[in-house]
Amino acid sequence: MKQVVFGNTGAKVSEMCLGTMMFGKRTEEAEAGRILSYALDHGVTFLDTAAMYGEGVCEEMLGRLLAGRRNKFFLATKVHRGVGYADISGSLDESLRRLRTECVDLYMIHWPRVGMNPLEIMRALNDVVKGGKARFVGCCNYPAWLLEHHNAIARANGWALLACNQIPYNPVERGVELEVLPQAFATGVAITVYRPLLEGILAGKYDPDKPMPSDSRAEWDDRVQKWMKKYDAGIRFLLALAREKRVSPSAVAVAWLRGSPAVTCPIIGASRFGQIEEGVKAFEFTLAAAEREGISNAFDADLREDAGGKFPELRRALDIVAR
C-alpha cells in the first residue's frame, strides 16, 4: 500500500484509510480482528473511528484489538457531543479510555453546529495537542470558508491548525469540487473521503436491471433508489468500464477518487473480511485521465447544488458562527 504525506503535518499514512464504523455493530470482534490484521499485513495503517459509532462500542473494540500494536497505526477519532471547550476535551478523554491509548494521531470535529464558537473550538483543540492527547486536529464536513475561518484564528494565536477535512465525495456527490477541494489543495489541508462507493452503488451491489434486494440498505435508505434512478447512465458506464478492465467496480470508483490531486485518502469501510481484501486490491488499479473524465461526464453531476451532503446549505449559512 502506498504511503502518502498527510497534508502539512509531515506525517505519512497509508493511502487507504480503513473505516471501522461497523465494528461492534455489524462486525463481531473476531471478524474485526481478522480485518485489522489483514490491513496491517498489507500496509494499511490509517484507521478512522468515532465516539458516536455504536455509542463508544466501536472504540472499545478497537482498544482491545490494538493492544500490543497501537504504535503501528495512525488512529483518528472524532468529537462526540457538542463543540464547546468542555465537550471537546471531555469527549477525547472518554475516547482515550475506550481506545486504551494516551494519545490519538488525529482528533476531529465531526460536524459544524449552529452557534458554534470557532475561537473556543480552536483553543480547545490546541490544548489537546499541547496536552499530548492528540498529535494533530482536523474537521469533517466543513465548507471551505468555515475551515479557513477556523485556521485564521489558529494562525493569529499560534495554535494548532486544522490539518484535514473529511468529506463525502464520489462521481455523484461532487459539490465539494466547488471551493472545498481547491481550498484544501491550495493550503495543504489533507482530504479524507467517506462514502467513496456511494452506499455500495459504485461497488456493484445493486444491479440496475433487477429489483432492489429486500434485505439491502435500499429498503430503508431512500437515497439509494433515488441515486440509482437519477444516475443510471453513469452507473452503467462505470460498471461496463469495470468489466472491460477486468477489475471490480470498487476499483474503478476508488481510482476515480485517487485521480484527484486534492484527495489524500479514500476511507474504505469493511464489515466483513471479503471487503478488506477487495478494498486493498482496489488500490492497485489506476485510471487514465481520459477514462476518469469519461466517468465524470457519464454521471453529469459536477457542481450541482443537490450534491455533496449538507454543503449547499452550509456554504450559505450565516448562523453557524456565534456573534
Residue extents of the structural domains in the chain: 3-314
Residues in CB range of 303: below 8 A, 6 or more apart: 174, 175, 177, 178
Cell of 253: 470508483
- Give catalytic status of residue 53 as yes or no: yes
Region 3-314: CATH code? 3.20.20.100
pLDDT per residue as tens digits for the range 2-38: 999 999 999 999 999 999 999 998 899 999 999 999 9
Contact 295, 241 (CB under 8 A): yes
pLDDT per residue as tens digits for the range 253-302: 999 999 999 999 999 999 999 999 999 999 999 999 999 999 999 998 87
Alpha carbon distance 55, 35 (integer Å): 21
SS3 breakdown of the chain: % helix, strand, coil, rounded to 5? Answer: 45, 15, 40
- Distances, alpha carbon 311 to alpha carbons 42, 119, 122, 189, 306, in Å: 34, 22, 22, 18, 9
pLDDT per residue as tens digits for the range 224-256: 989 999 999 999 999 999 999 999 999 999 999
Is the pLDDT assigned to residue 307 strictly greater than 60?
Answer: no
Query: pTM for this structure?
Result: 0.92
Catalytic residue among 53, 107, 194, 231: 53
- Quote the pLDDT of residue 77: 98
